[in-house]
Amino acid sequence: MCGIIGYIDKAPSVELGLQMAKALKHRGPDHQGAKLYAQNHCCLAHARLSIIDLRAAANQPMEYGNLAIVFNGEIYNFKEIKEELKRLGHQFMLDSDTEVILHAYEEWGTSCVNHFIGMFAFAILDQEANELILFRDRAGVKPLYYYEHENCFMFASELKALYPHPDFHKELDLEGVALYFKFGYIPTPFSIFKGVKKLPPGTYLKYSISTRTCEIFNYWNVLDYYTLPKLTLTYEEAKEQLETILKSACNYRMVSDVPVGVFLSGGYDSVGVTALLQNERTERLKTFTIGFPIGNNEAPIAKEIAHLLGTDHTEYICTPDDCKGIIPDLPYFYDEPFADNSAIPTILVSKLARRQVKVALSADAGDEIFAGYNSYTSLEKQLKYLKTVVKSDLLSNLFMQISKITNPYSFLREKSECFAKLFKYEDYHRISVAFEGGGSLMQSLFSKIINLPYPSPSFLQDERLIKEPISIAQVIDYLNYLPNNILVKVDRATMSVSLEGREPLLDHRIIEFAAQLPEEYKYLDGNKKRIFKDVVNKYVPKEIMDRPKTGFSMPINNWLKDDLRFLVEDNLNDSMDKSFFNTRFISQLKELFYAGKLGHEEKTIWRLIEFQLWHKQNMSN
């Protein structure tokens, strides 16, 4: 895990490259380096967290022939690829996955990524072709921003690495602002600044240095696998194959030259990963848990399971005082406004783990891959009701007229419960902005002169049909909520303390296999994550696991009314920019919040606080 940086302009310098790399020292404290490629007007820079091949010879930027690379992530099957390349005549000097990427690119070009099992964001400079190529992994585990301004092009793992460049300009993008207040995060490809974009997962970008033009290509798309014919395996056969793939994915994530641990909660995902790993090892895995004194607290369950599995377990209980120490740093760690308050305990569990290990496995994405969200249960009930009260052809025609007018941008978790019952599920995300109260509330936050747009994400333009409604919900969550919220949260939290976070459930082999399973193998009559749970129950009894899921959440709204009330008062007041915010309306929201009358919209208070904290740190000059 590292930080990568690069830029192309008329007069690049190593000094500026190093300055940009130092902004990512938390991602790579072990070494920062930069190299100039004058004939290509390019500088590449890197901040290294040493995990594989700890020698200085494996530092980056790394070169091979006419190729140069900066790489963030891990290629877990690099040893197998290395042997394949040796048979094709390649010779190696190191035991580094970075070196393997260079040789793989020379052999297979951009299709090299199809050989990789891993998480990655990397840039290859082809000096002979005078091209810079950026790659991002299939799920979007590793971040990658890029920025174009006149004849300058630059990229980085985090926005803050772009700030030292004199051609980088901070100008708020109102599309990014609109999306943030709508969802609590800014989805790919948008960002908080004009001119800055995020490279979508499963794509690569080619930048021609000669013509100063770029083009983005897809090399992997989850939709391809959901639209394939379903596998003709029996349930037992599918369960056996899934267990085999899960074991392989988890074991690959243990490849390291430094100590590795696991984040453990009381849920099926992290328990499954921990159980599969501990079952095949005599040494005790190190596991880590964060709990809370009030509200949702899975720490006691995690402790019980750790004892059952025999792990070396450490836990910590998060308090309001811990929040006071972390919240002021959130805008720095996340670079953009980001309102998932579980970032706080994620940072705390990362700090806890970093005292003992340099790598930690985080079991995210089980809900997206195996249909585990409660909203899927609600969807199933609504669809059963739908069949008895509406004619789909009539509603389909109505939807087409609405979508032409509004072109809305929304998802299942943001839908209006009232109007959702009137439409086919696949239409929810296109129509809900036109009807739901949340949209009008968001507009009320701002002064009348601000007209916030609703941009439409590119993946919603794909017209391929998925027949199963719950599969549609999974795809929407996989393409939006997972990479833009969950994975952003975990990456920045772990990297804030120089800890490498790994995601075994996001092995593309698991995703592809699960996408082709019959829907009833994953979800049947309210039984969520059915096949995954059955695998886990081989190792941990069903009666222990089947308790109500609380999730990795914290009682932030309770604390904001008490110990952390100062955050509300210090940030949501008359000092807010009145040309931007409707401060009178926000004052009314505060009173409703304190009185406990905001309901679901309590989230708006935290979104406002995070935006204000970010704005003060990034836009005050």
Residues with active-site annotation: 2
Centroid of chain to Cα 595: 34
The whole-angstrom separation of Cα 337 and Cα 346 is 17
Is 290 annotated to bind ligand?
yes
Helical (H) or strand (E) element with 72 = strand 67-75
| DSSP tag of 153 | E
Tell whether omega for the bond before 189 is within 30 degrees of 0, i.e. cis.
yes
Number of other residues whose CB lies within 10 A of the CB of residue 353:
27
The whole-angstrom separation of Cα 286 and Cα 449 is 54
3 state DSSP class of 33 = strand
- What is the DSSP code string of 258-278? S-EEEE--SSHHHHHHHHHHH
Residue 122 and residue 70 in contact, taking contact as beta carbons nearer than 8 Å:
yes
Tokens of 620: 């005050």
β-pair partners for 156: 5, 145
The whole-angstrom separation of Cα 506 and Cα 117 is 10
Q: 298, exposed or middle or buried, with CB in 10 Å at 0-12, 13-18, 19+? A: buried
Residue bearing tokens 């090399």? 219
β-pair partners for 192: none
How many Å is the Cα radius of gyration of the chain? 24
Residue numbers in the known binding site are 97, 290
Residue numbering of the annotated binding site for ATP: 290
Annotated binding-site positions for L-glutamine: 97
